């Protein structure tokens, strides 16, 4: 009985060891990653931005008497977007104009009565002729006109112009057509020199994407020689054609990628600055691309990954950035290098750290 018990235990241990041995030496099919020439169909994530952004900054302070601006509101170039209470400035203009009119009014020369009596006495005594009397009276009249009148008129005219300029600043117009994307904490109050609102142009818009190095030559040729098709897609599924307007020739050393900019009309205004979108670039021109079997790509919450096998036959995982799927093969944009071995159809029991046999 005791012997049977020990034999049973030995059998169980043998089974466990056998299973462990099998798991460590699982037979898996691998493929070696390499570049292959194929027509380009590339989908990249991009960020939408505006070509023109302006801040609306009042030139004077006061209560805004028009409807307060709100985020998302669309405006046209030259449209009055706000008006500051201008009553105080209107009064200043009226006061300055009145003062100017009073100073500029014709001055009737008045000769000093004593001077007039003296000249009349000289004339009556025959000391001066009538001609001399008239000349001396004219001189006395000119001398009676204040010499500061012209200076006062100029100063008051400047005051009128300054008041009118302030009055004009009470009306705030939009310099561009676009959408209000930000407003002040209190949009009912204008503060001179402080941003009241931000307006961004929404047509056209531009999308910036980073392009892997191995696609640059092909996309550049298609751009300059024709045959490059571009679509921009937003998260809601709306699609609009675009055109490549910029492709840098300088690689970002930290990412190994190149920046491209695509401009599009945004005809129905379904795209907004600041949102993410997808850019699909396609051309019949071929480019060297890394691809793996569609079954090799696994997905979990953190994203796509593949199982790789090192030179010692040990399994590990590698996060990958995937592109489009063409003829059952997935384009790998980042995460793998040519020459690495990938498990092409990983079994569900495959785990990191396992030692496997490859075929």
Same-domain status, 185 and 275: no
pLDDT given for residue 200 in this prediction: 97
Task: Tell whether 15 is covered by a domain.
Answer: no
Same-domain status, 40 and 81: no
Q: Of 35-44, 90-99, 112-121, 164-173, which gets the smallest average pLDDT?
A: 90-99
pLDDT in tens, 168-200: 889 999 999 999 999 999 999 999 999 999 999
CATH number at residue 188: 2.40.50.100
Same-domain status, 207 and 281: yes
Span 68-72, average pLDDT: 95
Same-domain status, 309 and 331: yes
Give me the chain's average pLDDT, please. Answer: 84
Q: Of 65-69, 318-322, 326-330, which gets the smallest average pLDDT?
A: 326-330
Same-domain status, 211 and 285: yes
Binned at pLDDT 50, 70 and 90, residue 264 comes out as: very high
pLDDT given for residue 124 in this prediction: 84
CATH number at residue 240: 2.40.30.170
Angle at 152 between CA 151 and CA 155, to 5 degrees: 90
pLDDT given for residue 99 in this prediction: 67
Judging by beta carbons within 10 Å of its beta carbon (0-12, 13-18, 19+), is residue 76 exposed, middle or buried? exposed
CA distances from 43 to 134, 257, 357 (A): 100, 15, 35
Task: Tell whether 100 is covered by a domain.
Answer: no
Q: Which contiguous run of DSSP H or E holds residue 140?
A: helix 130-144
Could you list the residue range(s) of the whole structural domain that residue 244 is in? Answer: 26-51+201-359
pLDDT given for residue 144 in this prediction: 54
Q: Of 98-102, 247-251, 296-300, which gets the smallest average pLDDT?
A: 98-102
pLDDT in tens, 207-216: 999 999 889 9
Task: Tell whether 140 is covered by a domain.
Answer: no
Same-domain status, 318 and 341: yes
Q: Is the pLDDT of residue 12 over 90?
A: no
pTM (2 decimals)? 0.66
Same-domain status, 44 and 64: no
Same-domain status, 218 and 350: yes
Task: Tell whether 4 is covered by a domain.
Answer: no
pLDDT given for residue 109 in this prediction: 63
Question: How many domains, the chain?
Answer: 2
Binned at pLDDT 50, 70 and 90, residue 44 comes out as: very high
Q: Of 3-17, 28-42, 82-96, 201-215, which gets the smallest average pLDDT?
A: 3-17
- 134-146 burial: b if 16+ Cβ within 10 Å, else e: eebbeebbeeeee
Both tokens assigned to 271: 């795209």
Span 286-312, average pLDDT: 92
Binned at pLDDT 50, 70 and 90, residue 106 comes out as: low
Task: Tell whether 21 is covered by a domain.
Answer: no
49 versus 116: the higher-pLDDT residue is 49
pLDDT given for residue 147 in this prediction: 46
pLDDT given for residue 250 in this prediction: 86
Task: Tell whether 70 is covered by a domain.
Answer: yes
Determine the Cα–Cα distance for residues 279 and 43; give it in Å rounded to an integer.
6
Determine the Cα–Cα distance for residues 316 and 332; give it in Å rounded to an integer.
17
Binned at pLDDT 50, 70 and 90, residue 242 comes out as: very high
Same-domain status, 265 and 194: no
Is cis: bond before 186, omega within 30 of 0? no
Helix and strand totals (H; E) in the chain: 6, 24
Same-domain status, 45 and 58: no
Same-domain status, 213 and 339: yes
Q: Is the pLDDT of residue 255 over 70?
A: yes
292 versus 147: the higher-pLDDT residue is 292
12 versus 312: the higher-pLDDT residue is 312
Q: Is the pLDDT of residue 244 over 90?
A: yes
pLDDT given for residue 164 in this prediction: 76
Q: Nearest Cα to 181, choosing from 49, 46, 64?
A: 49
């Amino acid at each position: 009985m005791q012997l049977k018990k020990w034999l049973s235990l030995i059998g169980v241990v043998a089974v466990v060891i056998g299973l462990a041995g099998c798991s460590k030496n699982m037979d898996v099919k691998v493929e070696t990653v390499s570049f292959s020439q194929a027509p380009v169909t590339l989908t990249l994530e991009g960020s939408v931005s505006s070509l023109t952004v302006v801040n609306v900054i009042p030139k004077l302070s006061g209560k805004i008497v028009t409807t307060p601006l709100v985020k998302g509101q669309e405006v046209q170039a030259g449209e009055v977007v706000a008006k500051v209470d201008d009553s105080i400035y209107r009064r200043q203009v009226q006061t300055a104009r009145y003062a100017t009119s009073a100073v500029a009014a014709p001055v009737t020369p008045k000769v000093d009565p004593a001077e007039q009596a003296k000249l009349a006495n000289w004339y009556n005594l025959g000391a001066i002729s009538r001609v001399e009397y008239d000349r001396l009276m004219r001189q006395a009249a000119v001398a009676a006109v204040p010499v500061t009148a012209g200076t006062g008129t100029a100063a008051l005219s400047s005051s009128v112009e300054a008041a009118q300029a302030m009055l004009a600043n009470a009306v705030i117009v939009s310099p561009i057509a676009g959408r209000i994307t930000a407003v002040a904490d209190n949009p009912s109050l204008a503060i001179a020199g402080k941003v009241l609102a931000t307006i961004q142009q929404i047509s056209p818009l531009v999308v910036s994407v980073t392009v892997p190095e191995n696609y640059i030559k092909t996309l550049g040729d298609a751009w300059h020689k024709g045959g490059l098709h571009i679509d921009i897609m937003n998260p809601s599924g709306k699609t609009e054609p675009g055109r490549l307007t910029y492709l840098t020739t300088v690689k970002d050393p930290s990412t190994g990628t190149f920046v491209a900019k695509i401009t599009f009309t945004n005809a129905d205004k379904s795209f907004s600055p600041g949102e993410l979108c997808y850019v699909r670039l396609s051309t019949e021109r071929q480019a060297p691309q890394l691809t793996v079997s569609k079954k090799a790509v696994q997905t979990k919450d953190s994203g796509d990954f593949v199982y790789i096998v090192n030179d010692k036959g040990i399994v590990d995982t590698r996060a990958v950035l995937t592109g489009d799927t063409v003829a059952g093969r997935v384009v790998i944009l980042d995460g793998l290098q040519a020459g690495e071995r990938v498990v092409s159809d990983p079994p569900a029991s495959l785990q990191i750290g396992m030692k496997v046999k490859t075929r």
